[in-house]
């Protein structure tokens, strides 16, 4: 029996995703758990795996296409079934796709979108391509498809527009020969029959000065990636819907830096933790002291977690990802350091797994390596807080006895979701974090 594979909802709340590349081709045999395609989400590129065995009958979406969740992307033939029979079964005599609403035109789930048979004069295409064609007034029957099986993909539509064909029903204006002839006759009638020389010389006519226009500013449009679009959407939603409040603390980190230096010089130490590793462990320890802060907001309740899982912001060339270290409170500093290094490496290679992008209640964002001393970060929903960590720097500090001394300080800013955290609760957590980071031996216990 044929099976229609649809674009999955890789992360909660996704409405569309980009299929970066297929790992299979028509005629390939696949088994359950085998990667079918690489899909770009708002956080990373992940492999989409088959949930059943079969033979690839057809690929319905081309590489690089952005399609709605639930859109058919592949047809699998059942055991002993030919590709033609699988496609016929998948199409099932459905109505023409142009006569149906696509997923973006309905209030119902996108999964109801059918795989449809091609009609004469029509072209196979995705809902997104059909929508763009309608908006641009382009008849898909006039577009040459380069996708699988001659399917029209977005690049075909863009190429069609670049070639300059007018939209359907819009013809290029034809020259008005009658009007042009009438203008010519009027000019001829106004001219004298002969040219005569006047007795008085006329002043030479100087050409009018040419107006100099400002040179056009040069620029390059860089198309949005799927990750950049989703980052923009999610963070805009965060700033518009999450009531942020901010708390700032200056932490003395001389003892932490000395402890790290001692670990680095110890030949028996398996790894040298980074300052950020210490920060992540200190944040987890603070949640253990103030468990009421280890929460997120949901529409029906405030959800409190029993374990501490913390996301860490990782900068990429084209965006930002936040892989999650699960159960930080149960891990050693060495384990956290190794896990973090592995997650960062795979995040930059685009090889994070879905489970590594989900969960947790809190995020750590560190810009200290760029020399930034303080900043405020935007909360990454559904987390209820994010700690912005600045660079450690030598600063003058006045002691309790009034003496002035130089101390290494690190400024951190807590952005809190006021729906889940009150200011006093956020202050208690930040005070606990400050005490732990200033007494780093507590992190090792």
- The catalytic site residues sit at 418
Distance CA 223, CA 225 (A): 6
Distance CA 92, CA 232 (A): 40
Instruction: Give which of 419, 412, 352, 356 is closest to 383, Cα–Cα.
Output: 419
Distance CA 64, CA 279 (A): 39
Distance CA 338, CA 191 (A): 92
Instruction: Give which of 111, 140, 153 is closest to 19, Cα–Cα.
Output: 153
Distance CA 109, CA 119 (A): 25
Distance CA 278, CA 257 (A): 10
Q: Which two structure tokens, joined as six digits, stand for 402? A: 């009034």
Residue ranges of alpha helices (H) inside 61-138 are 83-91, 127-136
Distance CA 320, CA 347 (A): 9
Using CA atoms, how far residue 200 sits from 196, 197, 203, 413, in Å, is 12, 9, 10, 87
**HSE-up (13 A, CA, CB side) for residue 48:** 24
Distance CA 19, CA 245 (A): 38
Find out whether 33 and 50 touch, Cβ atoms under 8 Å: yes
What are the residues whose beta carbons fall under 8 Å from the beta carbon of 166, sequence distance 6 or more?
A: 172
Distance CA 309, CA 283 (A): 10
Instruction: Give which of 134, 161, 159 is closest to 147, Cα–Cα.
Output: 159
DSSP annotation string for 268-302: T-S----HHHHHHHHHHHHHHH-GGGSEEE-SS-E
């Amino acid at each position: 029996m044929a099976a229609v594979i649809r674009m999955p909802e890789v992360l909660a709340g996704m409405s569309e995703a980009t299929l970066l590349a297929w790992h299979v081709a028509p005629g390939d045999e696949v088994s359950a758990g085998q990667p079918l395609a690489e899909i770009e989400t708002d956080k990373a590129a992940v492999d989409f795996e088959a949930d059943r065995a079969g033979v690839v009958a057809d690929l319905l979406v081309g590489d690089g296409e952005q399609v709605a969740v639930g859109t058919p992307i592949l047809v699998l033939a059942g055991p002993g079934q030919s590709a033609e029979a699988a496609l016929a079964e998948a199409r099932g005599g459905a109505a023409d796709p142009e006569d149906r609403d696509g997923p973006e035109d309905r209030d119902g789930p996108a999964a109801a979108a059918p795989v449809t048979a091609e009609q004469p004069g029509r072209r196979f295409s995705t809902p997104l391509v059909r929508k763009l064609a309608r908006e641009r007034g382009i008849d898909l029957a006039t577009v040459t498809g380069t996708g699988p099986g001659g399917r029209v993909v977005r690049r075909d539509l863009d190429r069609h527009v670049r070639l300059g064909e007018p939209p359907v029903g819009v013809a290029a204006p034809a020259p008005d020969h009658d009007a042009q002839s009438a203008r010519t006759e009027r000019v001829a009638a106004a001219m004298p029959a002969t040219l005569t020389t006047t007795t008085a010389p006329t002043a030479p006519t100087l050409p009018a000065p040419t107006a100099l226009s400002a040179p056009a500013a040069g620029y390059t449009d860089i198309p949005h990636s799927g990750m950049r679009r989703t980052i923009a959407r999610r963070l805009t939603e965060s700033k518009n819907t999450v009531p942020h409040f901010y708390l700032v603390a200056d932490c003395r980190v001389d003892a932490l830096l000395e402890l790290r230096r001692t670990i680095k010089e110890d030949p028996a130490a398996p790894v040298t933790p980074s300052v950020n590793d210490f920060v992540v462990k200190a944040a987890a320890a603070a949640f253990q002291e103030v468990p009421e802060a280890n929460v997120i907001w949901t529409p029906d309740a405030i959800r409190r977690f029993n374990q501490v899982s913390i996301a860490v912001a990782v900068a990429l060339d084209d965006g930002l990802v936040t892989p999650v270290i699960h159960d930080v409170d149960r891990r050693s500093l060495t384990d956290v350091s190794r896990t973090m290094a592995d997650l960062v490496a795979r995040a930059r290679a685009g090889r994070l797994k879905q489970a590594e992008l989900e969960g947790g209640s809190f995020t750590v964002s560190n810009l200290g390596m760029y020399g930034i001393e303080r900043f405020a970060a935007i909360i990454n929903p559904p987390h209820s807080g994010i700690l912005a960590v600045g660079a450690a720097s030598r600063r003058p500090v006045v002691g309790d006895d009034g003496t002035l001394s130089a101390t290494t300080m690190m400024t951190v800013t807590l952005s809190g979701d006021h729906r889940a955290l009150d200011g006093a609760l956020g202050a208690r957590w930040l005070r606990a974090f400050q005490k732990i980071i200033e007494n780093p031996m507590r992190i090792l216990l």
